[in-house]
Amino acid sequence: MAEQEASGLQVLLHTLQSSSDKKSILTILKVLGDLLSVGTDRRIHYMISKGGSEALLQTLVDTARTASPDYDILLPLFRLLAKVGLRDKKIGRKALELEALDVTLILARKNLSHGQNLLHCLWALRVFASSVSMGAMLGINGAMELLFKVITPYTQKRTQTIRAATEVLAVLLKSKSNGRRAVNRGYVTSLLWLHQDWHSRDTANTYVQIRRGLLLCLKHISALRSGREAFLAAQGMEILFSTTQNCLDDKSMEPVISVVLQILRQCYPKSPLPLVTASSAYAFPVPGHIATEPPCDLPEEDFEDDGDDEVDKDSDTEDGKVEDDDLETDVNKLTSKPGLDRPEEELMQYEAMCLELSYSFEELESKPGGDLNSEKTQYANHHHILTAAFSKQHCYNKDQSSCGQEREDSVRSSLLCMVKTQRSTVHLGSKRKPGVNPYQNVQSNSLGRDSSGSEIPDIQASLKADAWDIDAIFCPRMSASFSNSTRTGEAVEVIDKLLQTHLKCVPFHDPYLYMAKARRTSSVVDFKMVAFPDVWGHCPPSTTQPMLERKCGVQRIRIFEDIRRLIQPSDVINKVVFSLDEPWPLQDNASNCLQFFSKFESGNLRKAIQVREFEYDLLVNVDVNSTQHQQWFYFKVSGMQAAVPYHFNIINCEKPNSQFNYGMQPTLYSVKEALLGRPTWIRTGYEICYYKNHYRQSTAAAGGASGKCYYTLTFAVTFPHNEDVCYLAYHYPYTYTALMTHLDILEKSVNLKEVYFRQDVLCQTLGGNPCPLVTITAMPESNSDEHLEQFRHRPYQVITARVHPGESNASWVMKGTLEFLVSSDPVARLLRENFIFKIIPMLNPDGVINGNHRCSLSGEDLNRQWLSPSAHLQPTIYHAKGLLYHLSSIGRSPVVFCDFHGHSQKKNVFLYGCSIKETLWQAACTVGTSTILEDVNYRTLPKILDKLAPAFTMSSCSFLVEKSRASTARVVVWREMGVSRSYTMESSYCGCNQGPYQGLQFGTRELEEMGAMFCLGLLILELKSASCSHQLLARAATLLSAEEEALDQHLQRFLF
Ligand SMILES: [Zn+2]
């Protein structure tokens, strides 16, 4: 601002205050008005800084206090004040001090019948009242009573003034004292009546803003408990609900409807969840722990007077950011290496888990070289699943010889062909309309169909016969009942036949082996049943499923449905149809409702309540020995009609937001579809949304703290068949038994001359299940000293997964990693020949088995226990850390450590790593950073994966060390074992918003592919490293040029 202009403005303001000459005052007001009507807000702020507000207010007071106030001066003055006041945060305080507050109120009162003058006063009052304490002051001085004289029932006159009055009133009601006054004077009823009147008579929606103003008044009053009570007593819910029903689709009514929804949600009476306790339905006595019963939810209302206005989540952004104050800025903590957390001699025990370092391979001949190609193994299909998936026909459709043929072509179908390229290799499914059979895009597999596509009569017959009950068949712990069951042997025969036909349907899966393994899996409540999809297996669909496009207003419709339940309860059934807490049978099969079940591995439905004929409220079980972590769900549902939309509301979700609001769908498995040859988990559901509901944890149950909120996930499902048995889950399930089955099949599938594959037991879990540790490398070429030396000196790579049981996506990624590492893919061969892989595929078996989302049986998040794990309470963490300590103590720390996770808030796949410098920079903490030496090698692997893997993106990676993550695997392995490439790999539950998979949800195939790509990334990392052997470089170069046509230039760039 020019000096001249500045002094000019000051002169003007000074003259304004001192002059009594009307003409010059008017001139100055006009100049000021012109000055502020052009240019930016900076001018207004400048004027405020030079005392502009005070000068205007003083002039106002001086003019108003004359015998007959001159409105020629007052009106332009009010206009200027309204404009300047909007930008001056202290305008209210200034008006009070200069007595302009009183003066304006008096002028308004005098001008009740003079529309223009009154309107100007109201504009000024609106800005004065913007500070809550000035609003309270105006309230004390009778401003609200005045406004109620202005706000009339429906009229077409003076509507501008009425609108301004409703807006001032709404601002005043932000003050709690005004709110209480309004309640005491019965304004809630008046406002509701006025709203109804305007609503019914303003049929052309000309005065939407007046109606919105009235509603904003109600909204602010209902922030108070007494306001909500008055609102409910005045039938506010019913009135607002009914007035809005006929205009929900009217765009011009948007400003009204959004406020109505806020009021209705705010006033909906809060209640505790319909559960007997806040703790889990399953309890596990943790050794050495005294069980403390968490307080029961109390029935009486003692909820927080929260009154937070929650905006419609439709427009919320999805990603949360790392809080900077959580960053570790203590350089000492970042750079020091803590000592052992246990006696050194304890580490000896882990030698037994590293037998590869001492084994002499006497069974091998000592001559170098070997026949690597001819071994036939029990499981013909030991191709990596991707290779099979991307070839035209699945391997299991072929006979053994053609499988062998495919193996010879393996170089051509290597993983290298699937490296991220410009063109997408994805088969995009056409977008489905809601309500259409979700399986219609799922290509038929071999089972149950002959080559012409018609169903094999056997299966059709058995489906029709319906002579058997799937529940009764798979009872792993009661295998004897197979024979002495009251069910006829005939049914067993049918099943046996089905299984025989099915046996080779799903690669790396075997139903019989699964059942055998399930008998050895121990659960807290001794599950008797096995879920059908887990036994039968899952084949990914041939097309990738796009994200669900969210229809506008879905959330609104569901919320109105919730409110309808409250105010029109006559059609609400409210019948508990399933409950883990009630031991007696709740379901009679004759009744016309769905049947639910969840007492099987990873199942966790606790209660199902039928709300209406086709709508159910569901509650999931909290983690064992915990009162929280509800997110994962997995349950069985049966007795449905086809082609009818069923609505499911999971009402006790815990996270404040979810990918269900951004295109994610739950997964469904239909038993009938499986028997027809489509054993497939598919994404399903529409009208999906996730929002805060009216359930609260009572303050008593929260130990006096403000009770937490719950969220509803709602979705509609149209089932593909009548009377089917279906399973619904948060994400593609992957049980502990599935892992144990898979590992056995993998072990049997490997070519023993080529692949060294060993399963050890890392330890027993609290629940009594063995936690497997897998070692994969290549067999030594011979037992000559030279070959044994090479074998024993291969660097280690350590990979873990599934510490969080609800993150089943991590297991699918791990499945891809394991299958790839033992496969005949030339990349896998190179990896095996150069590394020893130590893999703990499931760090939390008990959590997975018992349907937990986050914790172990001791109710603890195991990924927060790495700093000082206890051998008794967190055995898997204790021994995983012990193994890493052991490797470190013999100078064999892994090249890379990576823990696979699932991410519920973000899309894509990405890594979290650890960097001292990046953490300190991010925290803007520069102390001593120049002296810290840090190799940036931690960035190489994510950069490589960004180029290779379609699902992976560097842009979501982070290398910050947070205080709250100090006890995670990533940070502890980095700090204590000195592994600079220590990572958490996060895979979205949803899908991708970048790269070739943009707009698609993840299927298991994409997750498995990621697991394989991770391995390829490890190879490229080694090729790029300075220590890479000449021999490996040469072999890789040969391999890569053999792949030339399929190779992306990116990959070339990695190497040369
Ligand atoms: Zn996790």
Q: Average model confidence (pLDDT) for the chain?
A: 84
How many CA atoms are closer than 13 Å to the CA of 538, on its beta-carbon side? 26
pLDDT of residue 472: 41
pLDDT score of 749: 92
Average pLDDT value for residue range 463-468: 40
Report the separation in Å between the CA atom of 1044 and the middle of ligand 1, taken as the mean of its atom positions: 38
The confidence score (pLDDT) of residue 935 equals 84
User: For the segment 265-311, what is each residue's pLDDT rounded down to a tens digit?
Assistant: 999 999 999 998 888 888 898 877 655 554 444 444 444 444 443 33
Q: What is the pLDDT of residue 528?
A: 87
- Note the pLDDT of residue 427: 44
Work out the pLDDT band at 1053, boundaries 50, 70, 90.
Answer: low
Mean pLDDT of 819-834: 94
922 vs 534: CA distance, rounded Å: 45
Q: Please report the pLDDT score of residue 384 as a whole number.
A: 40
CA of 863 to the centre of ligand 1 (A): 8
Distance, CA 806 to ligand 1 centroid (Å)? 8
> Do residues 128 and 84 touch, judged by C-beta distance below 8 A?
no
**Continuous segment of H or E residues that includes residue 681:** none
How many angstroms does the Cα of residue 765 sit away from the middle of ligand 1? 19
The whole-angstrom separation of Cα 215 and Cα 224 is 15
Separation in Å, CA 364 to CA 528, 749, 753, 783 = 45, 20, 9, 6
pLDDT of residue 457: 43
Whole-number Å distance between alpha carbons of 941 and 911: 9
Q: Which of 20-34, 403-417, 640-654, 856-870 has the lowest mean pLDDT?
A: 403-417
Which segments of 509-633 are extended strands (E)?
575-579, 595-597, 605-612, 615-620
DSSP state of 708: P
Q: Higher-confidence residue: 403 or 297?
A: 297
Residue range 322-346: average pLDDT? 84
Least confident among 322-336, 442-456, 806-820: 442-456
Separation between Cα atoms, residue 843 and residue 802, nearest integer Å: 6
- CA of 854 relative to ligand 1 center, distance in Å: 8
Q: How confident is the model at residue 562 (pLDDT cuts 50, 70, 90)?
A: very high
- Enumerate the H helices of 666-821 as residue ranges: 671-675, 736-749, 785-792, 808-821
- In the sheet with 725-729, reading across from the earlier edge strand, the strands are 595-597, 634-638, 725-729, 667-670, 682-683
Say if residue 456's pLDDT is above 60.
no
Measured CA to CA, the distance from residue 443 to residue 663 in angstroms comes to 23
Is pLDDT at 692 greater than 70 in this prediction? yes
CB 218 within 8 A of CB 192: yes
What is the DSSP track for 445-499?
A: -STTB-TTSPBPHHHHHHHHH----HHHH--GGGTTHHHHSSS-HHHHHHHHHHH
CA of 400 to the centre of ligand 1 (A): 40
**How far is residue 97's CA from residue 54's CA, in Å, rounded to a whole number?**
10
Q: Cite the beta strand spans of 863-907 per DSSP E.
A: 897-903
Q: How far is the CA of 804 from the centre of ligand 1 (A)?
A: 5
Residue 215, CA distances (Å) to 239, 256, 757 in order:
12, 7, 69
Task: Between 705 and 1011, name the one with better pLDDT.
Answer: 1011
> Which segment of 81-85, 130-134, 159-163, 248-252 scores lowest on mean pLDDT?
248-252
DSSP 574: -
Give the model's pLDDT for residue 738: 97
What's the 900 CA to ligand 1 centre distance in angstroms? Answer: 8
Of 493 and 432, the structure prediction assigns the larger pLDDT to 493
pLDDT of residue 337: 85
Q: Which residues pair with 618 in a beta bridge?
A: 608, 650
In whole angstroms, how large is the CA radius of gyration of the chain? Answer: 35
- 536: tokens are 């039968």
Residue 362 in this model has a pLDDT that exceeds 70: yes
Query: Of 303 and 947, which is predicted with more confidence?
Result: 947
Instruction: For residue 703, name the pLDDT band (cuts at 50, 70, 90).
Output: low
Q: Phi and psi dihedrals of 681, rounded to 5?
A: -80, 125
Q: What is the pLDDT of residue 921?
A: 87
pLDDT at 5 over 70: no
Q: Bigger pLDDT: 261 or 4?
A: 261
986 is catalytic: yes
The tens digit of pLDDT for each residue in 185-211 reads 999 999 999 999 999 999 999 999 999
Query: 3-state secondary structure string, 315-366?
Result: HCCCCCCCCHHHECCCHHHHHCCCCCCCCHHHHHHHHHHCHHHCCCCCCCCC
Confidence of residue 487 (pLDDT cuts 50, 70, 90): very low
The one catalytic residue in 328, 986, 1008, 1043 is 986
- Determine the pLDDT at residue 278: 82
Per cent of the chain over pLDDT 90 is 61
Query: Which tens digit of pLDDT belongs to each residue from 211-227?
Result: 999 999 999 999 999 99
At residue 379, does pLDDT exceed 50?
no
Per-residue confidence band for 3, with pLDDT thresholds at 50, 70 and 90: low
| Gap from CA of 865 to ligand 1 centroid (Å) | 13
**Higher per-residue pLDDT: 299 or 490:** 490
Q: How far is CA 699 from the centre of its chain?
A: 26
pLDDT of residue 1037: 79
Q: C-alpha 122: how far from its chain's center?
A: 47
Looking at mean pLDDT, say which of 415-419, 504-508, 967-971 comes out highest: 967-971
Give the highest mean pLDDT range of 147-161, 387-401, 696-710. Answer: 147-161
pLDDT of residue 1049: 53
Q: Which of 141-150, 331-340, 379-388, 399-408 has the highest mean pLDDT?
A: 141-150
The answer, yes or no, to whether residue 709 has pLDDT greater than 50, is yes
Residue 822 confidence (pLDDT): 96
Q: What is the DSSP string of 529-549?
A: B--HHHHH-----SSBPBPPP
Region 758-783: mean pLDDT is 96
The pLDDT-based confidence of 673 (bands split at 50, 70, 90) is very high
pLDDT at 12: 87
Kindly compute the dihedral angle of the four CA atoms of residues 9, 10, 13, 15, in this order, to the nearest 10 degrees. -110
Provide the pLDDT confidence category of residue 830 given band limits of 50, 70 and 90. Answer: very high
Is pLDDT at 430 greater than 50 in this prediction?
no
Which pLDDT score is estimated for 1042?
Answer: 62
Residue 1056 reports pLDDT greater than 60: no
> What letter represents residue 940's amino acid?
T
Residue 916 · residue 932 · CB < 8 Å: yes
Tell me the pLDDT tens digit for each residue of 871-930. 999 999 999 999 999 999 999 999 999 999 999 999 999 999 999 989 988 888 766 667
pLDDT at 405 over 50: no
Measured between its terminal Cα atoms, the distance across the chain in Å is 58
C-alpha to C-alpha distances, 400 to 189, 376, 382, 395, 974, nearest whole angstrom: 80, 10, 11, 9, 46
The residue ranking higher by pLDDT, 31 or 324, is: 31
Instruction: Report pLDDT digits (tens) over 522-539.
Output: 999 999 889 999 999 999
Q: What pLDDT does residue 584 have?
A: 66
Summarize pLDDT for 95-151 with one digit per residue, the tens. 999 999 999 999 999 999 998 999 999 999 999 998 899 999 999 999 999 999 999
Q: How confident is the model at residue 494 (pLDDT cuts 50, 70, 90)?
A: low
Residue 385 pLDDT > 60, yes or no?
Answer: no
Is the confidence at residue 540, as pLDDT, over 50? yes
Q: How confident is the model at residue 4 (pLDDT cuts 50, 70, 90)?
A: low
| Confidence label for 323 from pLDDT (cuts 50, 70 and 90) | low
Q: What is the pLDDT of residue 1039?
A: 76
- Residue reference for tokens 């028997």: 675
Confidence bin at 403 (pLDDT 50/70/90): very low
* Strands 575-579 and 605-612, sheet pairing: antiparallel
Angle (CA) 395-1013-664 rounded to 5° is 85
Q: How far does the centroid of ligand 1 lie from the alpha carbon of residue 902, in Å?
A: 5
Please report the pLDDT score of residue 491 as a whole number. Answer: 55
Burial code (b: 16+ CB inside 10 Å, e: under 16) for 901-936 equals bbbbbbbbbbbbbbbbebbbebbeeeeeeeeeebee
Residue 43 predicted with pLDDT over 60: yes
- List pLDDT tens digits, range 590-643: 568 999 999 999 999 999 999 999 999 999 999 998 888 899 999 999 999 999
Kindly report, residue by residue over 143-181, the tens digit of the pLDDT: 999 999 999 999 999 999 999 999 999 999 999 999 999
Range 787-816 average pLDDT: 97
Going from the Cα of 862 to the center of ligand 1, the distance in angstroms, rounded, reads 10
Distance 980 CA to ligand 1 centre (A): 21
